[in-house]
Amino acid sequence: MKVGIVGAGMVGSAAAYALAMQGIASEVVLVDKDADLALAQAEDISHAVPFVSATTVRAGSYRDLDGTFVVILAAGVNQKPGETRLELLGRNAAVFREVVGEVLAVSPDTILLIATNPVDVMTHVATRLSGLPARRVIGSGTILDTARFRSLLGRHLGIAPQSVHAYVLGEHGDSEVLAWSNARAGSLALVSFADQVGKPLTEEVRAAIDDGVRNAAYKIIKGKGSTYYGIGAGLARIIRAIALDQRDILSVSIVTPEVVGITEVALSIPRVIGAAGVLSDLMPELDVAEASALVRSATILKESADSVPL
Ligand code: ADP
């Protein structure tokens, strides 16, 4: 299966590396307006391939994206000093105006996988620009926040993160909602499991986990400038679900007709992912506080998306 990546910076290259290491794609093509960067990343990653898989990793132009099954959009610009969030959004929307048209001209049937931040708003922008059905324009959304939530819960409970079933909903960002009330460990309610193993979820434990999930990116950026390995693996995880038609339940962002009373908003809830993209949306049962936090998150995202000039 051929995968395209537009934007060969830190996130795009980390996704290419994760795809190659897991042998998920037969071919990965990197495109960047900085052609030398795309070439260097492709060369570097392709030198890792002989140790593990048979994936072909190369740099190319938009023409080389023909026949792709999925194209990751990781292209974007960084915030300039003094620039507002909205101005940045406007510039990234301009990048997408150029990129989405180029991709669809050569690969009209592809699935777009959006990684550029703010990812929910950029997913909305890409959906509008592409005219593709919403289920084929998928934002990585809270896939990484959900992974962080499971990892911290697993660490506290002394079990593998894969045995924790818990999701982060809403925005990939400050207003995200950790859905504690429906979280499970194995088949047990989280609280019941925690009590049985003598690791109760006290207020302090919950607050520490909430902080660890919500502020993970800030801490990493402080230490090393940006985050990319985690999201690179998350993007590869979504592509595995698509490539193998796995029908996995993952928290990703697509424009959704209605969530908690807010219409036409791109945000994350658990969704079934397969070869056609998002196959169905799942609305978790939430307690009152979680539901109102999700309304707030959805409202922020809707207002943000409406404010982007297209
Ligand atoms: P991140 O950490 O999000 O990956 P980077 O700045 O490392 O951020 O990567 C973003 C990449 O997007 C850069 O390599 C940049 O050259 C690329 N890019 C920006 N605008 C465009 C565009 N219009 N077309 C293609 N690539 C672009």
One-letter amino acid at 12 equals G
Q: How far is the CA of 111 from the centre of ligand 1 (A)?
A: 20
For residue 59, give every residue at least 6 positions away whose Cβ sits within 8 Å of its Cβ, in sequence order, or none: 8, 29, 30, 31, 32, 35, 38, 39, 41, 42, 43
Structure tokens at 16: 């290419």
Structure tokens at 7: 């934007």
Compute how many other C-beta atoms are within 10 angstroms of the C-beta atom of residue 95. 19
Q: How far is the CA of 167 from the centre of ligand 1 (A)?
A: 29
Kindly write down the DSSP assignment for every residue of the chain, as one continuous string. -EEEEE--SHHHHHHHHHHHHHT--SEEEEE-SSHHHHHHHHHHHHTTGGGT---EEEE--GGGGTT-SEEEE----PPPTT--HHHHHHHHHHHHHHHHHHHHHH-TTPEEEE-SSSHHHHHHHHHHHH---GGGEEE-TTHHHHHHHHHHHHHHHTS-GGGEE--EEB-SSTT-EE--TT-EETTEEHHHHHHHTT----HHHHHHHHHHHHTHHHHHHHHHS---HHHHHHHHHHHHHHHTT--EEEEEEEEEEEETTEEEEEEEEEEEEETTEEEEE------HHHHHHHHHHHHHHHHHHHTS--
pLDDT attached to residue 83: 76
pLDDT attached to residue 84: 74
pLDDT attached to residue 81: 76
271 φ, ψ (degrees, to nearest 5): -140, 150
pLDDT attached to residue 82: 75
Q: Is 148 annotated among the ligand-binding residues?
A: yes
Q: Which of 145, 8, 122 is nearest to 65 (CA)?
A: 8
pLDDT attached to residue 87: 82
pLDDT attached to residue 28: 98
CA distance linking residue 92 with residue 86, whole number of Å: 10
The structure's pTM equals: 0.97
Indicate whether residue 270 lines ligand 1 (CB < 6 A).
no
Mutate to test the pocket of ligand 1, among 33, 144, 228, 229 (most ligand atoms within 8 A of CB): 33
In this predicted complex, what is the ipTM? 0.98
Q: For the range 179-182, what are the long-range contacts, defined as Cβ-Cβ under 8 Å and sequence gap of 24 or more?
A: 179/284, 179/286, 179/290, 180/206, 180/290, 181/285, 181/286, 181/287, 181/290, 182/284, 182/285, 182/286
pLDDT attached to residue 18: 98
Q: Which residue ranges of the chain lie beneath pLDDT 50?
A: none
Residue in the structure block whose two tokens are 């990319």? 228
Indicate whether residue 11 lines ligand 1 (CB < 6 A).
yes
Q: Is 172 a catalytic residue?
A: yes
Q: How far is the CA of 93 from the centre of ligand 1 (A)?
A: 13
Indicate whether residue 115 lines ligand 1 (CB < 6 A).
no
One-letter amino acid at 220 equals I
Structure tokens at 145: 């926040």
Q: Which atom of ligand 1 is nearest to the CA of 228?
A: 2
